[in-house]
Amino acid sequence: MAKVTGPLFSLSASGQIAKTLVFGDWKGIDIVRKYVIPANPNTAGQQTQRGYFAAAVEDWHTDGFSAIDVAAWNLYALAQKVAASGFNMLVKLKVDCAVAAEAWVPLVVCLVTAIGAAGAQINITGTVGSVVHLFWGTSKTSMFNEENMVDTAGDYEVTLAACSATTKYYFYIADQDAANQARTGIYSFTTTA
């Protein structure tokens, strides 16, 4: 790979020339390199991994996420300080879960109601019989308080009563069952005076 200034007598260049040279940028530096056809041995392991990835992408579209759920996944990605979207983070977690041969429990349609000075009522839909916990705090990167959520036929609920007035709280929900994995993005709410 060669570093170039003024490639092809221009300010920048990208693309290939006659399947011999490829122009582009790498970390903001203009480069030129030899054209290479990427190898694709299409092994059984690759096919398995691609199947995990395809299933995770399909689940993003069919699990029933509300706009609030998508915003929570995007906030989770932002809190991870990586260049990724909520979609990227969910796909990563689901692929990791599939590789570990564990079941993923979708947690969708989170509702925060009865927000008052004393706290809030939080509901989310999941799979019946899961062991679901809510982790919460006043920062999107440190949610150390934990509450058990009550299963009412697949609709999980909890009431946070130990909240302060006019304070912004962040929370996420995770399945703590040994055989399952699940989590949500990071939601937030602000209590009233």
* Low-confidence stretches of the chain (pLDDT beneath 70): 1-4
Does one domain contain both 80 and 171? yes
pTM of the model as a whole: 0.79
DSSP-derived pairing of the beta strands 103-104 and 180-181 = parallel
Let me know whether 72 and 158 are in one domain.
Answer: yes
Question: Are 75 and 158 members of one domain?
Answer: yes
User: Is the distance from CB of 126 to CB of 132 less than 8 angstroms?
Assistant: yes
Which of 131, 126, 142, 140 lies closest to 189 in space, CA to CA?
140
* 162 in any annotated domain: yes
Residues 15 and 88 in one domain: no
Looking at the structure, tell me whether residues 109 and 148 fall in a common domain.
yes
Statement to judge: residues 86 and 159 lie in one domain: yes
pLDDT of residue 1: 62
**41, part of any domain:** no
**8 Å CB contact between 193 and 184:** no
CATH number for 116 = 2.60.40.10
Q: Environment class of residue 100 by beta-carbon count within 10 Å: exposed (0-12), middle (13-18) or buried (19+)?
A: exposed
Please give the Cα distance from 79 to 22 (Å, whole number).
Answer: 36
- Residue 148 in any domain: the answer is yes
Same domain, 142 and 103: yes
Q: Is residue 57 in some structural domain? A: no
> Which are the contacts of 27, defined by CB distance < 8 A and separation ≥ 6?
none
pLDDT of residue 192: 87
Q: Please indicate, yes or no, if residue 96 is contained in any of the structural domains.
A: yes
In a domain, 140, yes or no: yes
Give the per-residue pLDDT at 45. 93
Do the beta carbons of residue 127 and residue 103 sit within 8 Å?
no
Please count the structural domains in the chain.
2
88 and 183 fall within a common domain: yes
| Local structure of residue 130 (DSSP, 8 states) | -
Q: Are residues 167 and 72 part of one domain?
A: yes
Q: Which residues pair with 23 in a beta bridge?
A: 15, 32
Are 25 and 76 in a shared domain? no
| DSSP-derived 3-state class of residue 38 | coil
Structure confidence by residue, pLDDT tens digits, 137-162: 999 999 999 999 998 888 999 999 88
Give the pLDDT of residue 2.
62
Q: What pLDDT, on the 0 to 100 scale, is given for residue 17?
A: 85
Phi, psi of 23 (to 5 degrees): -105, 145
Q: Is residue 118 part of a domain?
A: yes
In this structure, are 184 and 98 located in the same domain?
yes
Q: Per the domain annotation, does 42 fall within a domain?
A: no
In our burial notation (b when 16+ CB lie closer than 10 A, e otherwise), range 19-30 reads eebbbbeeeeeb
Which single residue is written with the structure tokens 């006043």? 138
Residues 124 and 163 in one domain: yes
Range list of H helices, 63-172: 67-79, 86-99
Domain residue limits at 77: 65-190
Residue 27's pLDDT is 83
